[in-house]
Structure 1
């Protein structure tokens, strides 16, 4: 079940951080880069974030979350994080579906997201939702991020 998280609450922010650190450590190993900014987050930085956080609960526990920011008619997905114990259980799918449905009839006409170019599972997931890679940016020698977008007019 998806629901809005109050990331300003210290206990909620701690839950978010715990899952985030576990998941991003795995991504860091996958892409061979431990400089992912979210690995440096703290409870305080999450509490101060301007992002909207939506959590997915499984058996009464936070299994994952998505965070985003809206600017004009664009929604930028900032984080899509799943607890490693819940990988391949549909958590990321559920969170993406929730966001897409929530803004289906809104002014949002473009969704954006970025991920490590070597994060094949994440890129595959976003492509399943109609996201199209449009740019790669090298952030460190041999390490790049893939920028993806989905226009609302796309099915």
Structure 2
């Protein structure tokens, strides 16, 4: 089931963190960059986030997408799936949910340029590369946009 989740709830924030750390750990390995901000967040940081959170949940929380709405722009901040559930379409379903919910809006998202699975997912939905940003010496993120 996909729906909004209350990240301000201590238990929910902890569940998000338990998915986030290993998911971003894999991205850090792909990028060979371990200073991804979400790798250093705590449950309290998640609770205090100004983002809106949507979760994919069956018996447990399996994936999360978070975003902010800024002047008609859906700015996706994180799309994470518990690595135990990779390759089951959870990220795809979370992205479909947002695109359907905000039909007619513009979307923006960034990911590590070395994160080929994430890039393939965004491109499959029609996201177009807008620019590359060097986040640290020799480390790039790619910014994608979509007019839905």
Q: Which residue of 1 aligns with 2:49?
A: 49
Q: Which residue of 2 aligns with 1:8?
A: 8
Q: Which residue of 1 aligns with 2:62?
A: 63
Q: How many residues align?
A: 148
Shift of 1:113: 0.1
- Unaligned stretches of 5+ residues in structure 1: none
Hey, which bits of structure 1, 4+ residues long, moved more than 2 A?
none
- Unaligned stretches of 5+ residues in structure 2: none
Of 124, 127, 135, 1:131 maps to 127
Q: Which residue of 2 aligns with 1:97?
A: 96
Shift of 1:57: 1.1
Q: Distance in 2 between matches of 1:84 and 1:147?
A: 23
Q: Which residue of 2 aligns with 1:144?
A: 140
Equivalent residue of 2:133, what SS?
strand
Shift of 1:15: 0.2
Aligned runs of 1:71-86 on 2, under 5 Å?
Answer: 71-86=70-85
Equivalent residue of 1:49, what SS?
coil
- Could you say what the CA RMSD is over the residues aligned between the two structures, in angstroms? 0.8
Spell out, residue by residue over 1:125-154, the C-alpha distance to the aligned partner (whole angstroms, 9 max, x if none).
0000110011001111110100000012xx
Instruction: Compute the TM-score of the two structures, normalised by the length of structure 2.
Output: 0.98
Instruction: Compute the TM-score of the two structures, normalised by the length of structure 1.
Output: 0.93
